[in-house]
A and B are shown apart, each in its own frame.
Chain A
């Protein structure tokens, strides 16, 4: 497939307030963790160069405010996203239950060209807390939800300890890149009545 040279991959991190969106982003980009991050107001992003098959890409990672009241800003921020990362806190059922809202809201506001196949990645963060004893969302439950939404790749992470963060973002970048390439071969006169919306390849083989 002749692919246009893409240099920028835009990734949006969504999830409830305090699940660790800013921390994940900073752990991945700066390999740093701090207890001092302030609540994100509005939105911000960091960039990181990533390499795939001898090509360099700039991963632009958007960190957004987690309070529902600010969701409407998404229209401006989600535009042109290549991948959406949904984050919840494995120690908070509410943050897990809200994943569906975040996903729906993203699809509405970003209105990607092919919502059925838009790549999401789910991260269950804070697995380090209390040695896992305060965990309330099981991995099984999370994976079941991901499977029901078209096999969304799933990772359990700790931004604090740096667990699985690199792996997760590798997958995120890969999916973002794939999303862009699919878009390129998508012809405007193709008529797709929805039956061909096969679930995406099962997870990320990384």
Chain B
């Protein structure tokens, strides 16, 4: 068993390469420790722990993550740790040799390790920080210069190692088998290796989190090409502008090669600037048109002295009016709307709804129905019947009778779950902290959910109590997920539309099948959506993407509220319901909400870039857009963007990204908090 493992390591090309170039790298070459600089795994060593997919995040940007293999190697009574980046992983494709060397951890003896700090963030993966025993004194003074901080940290601790496939517990347990480690009295997540009396341990542990070690070199990797394409676009924008206003004959063909000479020329030039996909040509063309019609440049720059905070109070500025191309003749109009999203239709009424059903109540053509709702929504009085289908609570091919039957069985099922918490006595609750806390949180939130609406208005409003009962019942129905802020926002319109308590509950359950991951403890659902959003913006508006990148905004937290509760706080109640039913059709794609985000950002891109908004300002700006977004226009843009992005867009959204149904796997375990180590 030992032999092949050892052979594997000494044969490892990555490992060998990292060693060869080790002297040139900045990596922790601890010259004061002769043992640690040995150039290979010592004779007679044994690999006692090996884990792949242990990843370093050099920056906040997911594509720059470096996946690698973490190992513990035992030789005699000494234990060593190594981490090497793995080649051939897609995320590592952009990794330069230099960066590989920078992050590689060559065998470090545990005699040089002071402590290991474990963290389980709610947002992301569990990770550890290995703090070395050297350089301790310097760390206290790293207060001013960021560069200095990075330099110092390189010598005192390794970057965070994220365990994508779990294994922290095993890692610590393995260490414990071989050397003496002890859990810190002050912090249960700190495991001390050598110096148990370290007076600066606190200081060290507080240094850990937001330091993206050596993000400089990695961040600049792809800057060149993209930024020059932006300049290029500015320069050739005029000629493209002309070409754009003659869109091709049909939207399907638009994504394919066109023989318009002007277009071909554009493509030719753009290709040199690495905008290589067919789609990118389309997008960049659109971008130019938008830039031109928005008048980015002279007008925007002139206005840039206006303060940001004024904006939402002037809703109908540039962005609201300008980008809609004014068609010159009806024939052109049809072609144009195919590019820019079709005009919305009147909502689906009860009579028309009836035409979609056969005599026994089955929806005959679900796709046609979804399409109809996608373009027009549903009249309010018809929503109660239609929403359960859109949410997936009712099957489209179910009959009236089947639905009636379902309703009664589900009602008793609901009551059973509700009884579980209703039967908890006051005495019992005193010894049931988790229940009390959960109930307390829900109680606090329902009384501040949509209270301005007459439906939830006033003291002792029964609907507020139903809201609470459903949420508390849900937190028992899905005890692992429990209750999380934002859920009351999602439930409120459902109860308002469906009215019946049990039916509302089951519709909410259906919605949470898809949106539940938004509320996961590790926030992986939000993480994957914001990541997908960043990839879509990169695809659909690379200058804006570059702007976010340069301004440290790629975490897209300024869209957090939009995504978490599906724009519930961004539109008035009626509009929210309209948006939701459109999103729930999944007619064009499951992730239209991300295209809605892109559409909104694109509407204000000139303002964002022109006013040099930093992260804080951008967050404030997006928050204050609430109530000032034109839903119909944004939906048309989102539709157009979704069509334009096509497969290229879909490819940028990782499988299982909400509201896609979760991929069946170990994900189910993610709800649970495994907090027992050692």
Residue from A17, A43, A45 in contact with B441 in the complex, judged by beta carbons closer than 8 Å:
A17
Q: For the complex, what is the distance from the CA of A109 to the CA of B207, rounded to whole Å? A: 9
Q: For the complex, what is the distance from the CA of A194 to the CA of B204, rounded to whole Å? A: 11
Residues of A close to B182: CB separation below 8 A: none
Residues of B close to A66: CB separation below 8 A: 485
Q: For the complex, what is the distance from the CA of A107 to the CA of B203, rounded to whole Å? A: 10
Residue from A67, A108, A186 in contact with B484 in the complex, judged by beta carbons closer than 8 Å:
A67
* Nearest B residue to A18, CB-CB: B444
Instruction: Verify if A53 is at the interface (C-beta below 8 Å from B).
Output: no
Instruction: Verify if A202 is at the interface (C-beta below 8 Å from B).
Output: no
Residue from A41, A107, A111, A193 in contact with B485 in the complex, judged by beta carbons closer than 8 Å:
A41
Q: A41-B485, A73-B123 are in contact. Are A111 and B143 (CB under 8 A)?
A: no
User: Is there an interface contact between B210 and A72, defined as CB atoms closer than 8 Å?
Assistant: no
For A19-54 the 0/1 string (1 means CB < 8 A from B) is 000000000000000011111011111000000000
6 pairs, A vs B, C-beta closer than 8 Å: A39-B486, A73-B123, A73-B557, A77-B557, A186-B143, A191-B140
User: Is there an interface contact between B564 and A111, defined as CB atoms closer than 8 Å?
Assistant: no
Q: For the complex, what is the distance from the CA of A109 to the CA of B26, rounded to whole Å? A: 26
Q: A38-B448, A43-B619 are in contact. Are A70 and B141 (CB under 8 A)?
A: no
User: Is there an interface contact between A69 and B484, defined as CB atoms closer than 8 Å?
Assistant: yes
Residue from A38, A45, A70 in contact with B122 in the complex, judged by beta carbons closer than 8 Å:
A70
User: Is there an interface contact between A192 and B140, defined as CB atoms closer than 8 Å?
Assistant: yes
For B612-623 the 0/1 string (1 means CB < 8 A from A) is 000110011001
* Nearest B residue to A38, CB-CB: B448
Q: A67-B441, A191-B138 are in contact. Are A108 and B557 (CB under 8 A)?
A: no
Instruction: Verify if A170 is at the interface (C-beta below 8 Å from B).
Output: no
User: Is there an interface contact between A36 and B448, defined as CB atoms closer than 8 Å?
Assistant: yes
Task: Give 8 closest A-B pairs by Cβ, nearest first.
Answer: A113-B143, A72-B123, A18-B444, A42-B560, A115-B206, A72-B122, A41-B561, A42-B561
User: Is there an interface contact between B485 and A65, defined as CB atoms closer than 8 Å?
Assistant: yes
Residues of A close to B437: CB separation below 8 A: 94
User: Is there an interface contact between A17 and B143, defined as CB atoms closer than 8 Å?
Assistant: no
Residues of B close to A73: CB separation below 8 A: 123, 557, 560
Instruction: Verify if B523 is at the interface (C-beta below 8 Å from A).
Output: yes
Q: For the complex, what is the distance from the CA of A19 to the CA of B145, rounded to whole Å? A: 36
Closest beta carbon of chain B to A108's beta carbon, Å: 5
Interface size of B as a range: 35 or more
Residues of A close to B444: CB separation below 8 A: 17-18, 39
For B132-156 the 0/1 string (1 means CB < 8 A from A) is 0000011011111100100000000
User: Is there an interface contact between B141 and A189, defined as CB atoms closer than 8 Å?
Assistant: yes
Most chain A CB neighbours (cut-off 10 Å) among B202, B452, B488: B202
Instruction: Verify if B325 is at the interface (C-beta below 8 Å from A).
Output: no
Closest beta carbon of chain A to B96's beta carbon, Å: 26
What DSSP secondary structure best describes chain A's contact surface? loop
Residues of B close to A183: CB separation below 8 A: 143-144
Residues of A close to B288: CB separation below 8 A: none
User: Is there an interface contact between A188 and B144, defined as CB atoms closer than 8 Å?
Assistant: yes
* Nearest B residue to A75, CB-CB: B210
Q: A75-B210, A188-B148, A189-B141 are in contact. Are A69 and B122 (CB under 8 A)?
A: yes
* Nearest A residue to B555, CB-CB: A76
Closest beta carbon of chain B to A82's beta carbon, Å: 13
Q: For the complex, what is the distance from the CA of A69 to the CA of B484, rounded to whole Å? A: 8
Residues of B close to A107: CB separation below 8 A: 206
Which residues in B have some Cβ–Cβ distance to A below 8 Å? 121-124, 137-138, 140-145, 148, 199-200, 202-203, 205-211, 437, 441, 444-445, 448-449, 451-452, 484-486, 488-489, 519, 521, 523, 555, 557, 560-561, 564-565, 569, 615-616, 619-620, 623
* Nearest A residue to B521, CB-CB: A69
Q: For the complex, what is the distance from the CA of A38 to the CA of B123, rounded to whole Å? A: 23
User: Is there an interface contact between A111 and B208, defined as CB atoms closer than 8 Å?
Assistant: yes
* Nearest B residue to A41, CB-CB: B561
Q: For the complex, what is the distance from the CA of A68 to the CA of B121, rounded to whole Å? A: 10
User: Is there an interface contact between B208 and A108, defined as CB atoms closer than 8 Å?
Assistant: yes
User: Is there an interface contact between A193 and B452, defined as CB atoms closer than 8 Å?
Assistant: no
User: Is there an interface contact between B122 and A41, defined as CB atoms closer than 8 Å?
Assistant: no
Q: For the complex, what is the distance from the CA of A68 to the CA of B623, rounded to whole Å? A: 21
Q: A36-B448, A38-B448, A38-B569 are in contact. Are A67 and B619 (CB under 8 A)?
A: no
Other A-B pairs beyond A44-B620, A69-B485, 9, CB < 8 Å: A38-B448, A39-B444, A72-B523, A76-B557, A77-B557, A111-B210, A186-B143, A187-B144, A188-B148
Q: For the complex, what is the distance from the CA of A113 to the CA of B206, rounded to whole Å? A: 9
Instruction: Verify if A79 is at the interface (C-beta below 8 Å from B).
Output: yes
User: Is there an interface contact between B122 and A113, defined as CB atoms closer than 8 Å?
Assistant: no
User: Is there an interface contact between A41 and B208, defined as CB atoms closer than 8 Å?
Assistant: no
Most chain B CB neighbours (cut-off 10 Å) among A41, A94, A116, A194: A41
User: Is there an interface contact between B449 and A38, defined as CB atoms closer than 8 Å?
Assistant: yes
Residues of B close to A111: CB separation below 8 A: 206-211
Instruction: Verify if A133 is at the interface (C-beta below 8 Å from B).
Output: no
Residues of B close to A68: CB separation below 8 A: 122
* Nearest A residue to B117, CB-CB: A108
Q: For the complex, what is the distance from the CA of A76 to the CA of B474, rounded to whole Å? A: 31
Residues of A close to B205: CB separation below 8 A: 108
Q: For the complex, what is the distance from the CA of A175 to the CA of B340, rounded to whole Å? A: 52
Q: For the complex, what is the distance from the CA of A193 to the CA of B485, rounded to whole Å? A: 42
Closest beta carbon of chain B to A37's beta carbon, Å: 6
Q: For the complex, what is the distance from the CA of A193 to the CA of B140, rounded to whole Å? A: 7
* Nearest B residue to A76, CB-CB: B557
User: Is there an interface contact between B121 and A72, defined as CB atoms closer than 8 Å?
Assistant: yes
A52-86 residues with Cβ-Cβ distance < 8 A to B are 60, 65-73, 75-77, 79
Residues of A close to B138: CB separation below 8 A: 191
User: Is there an interface contact between B569 and A41, defined as CB atoms closer than 8 Å?
Assistant: yes
Instruction: Verify if A114 is at the interface (C-beta below 8 Å from B).
Output: yes
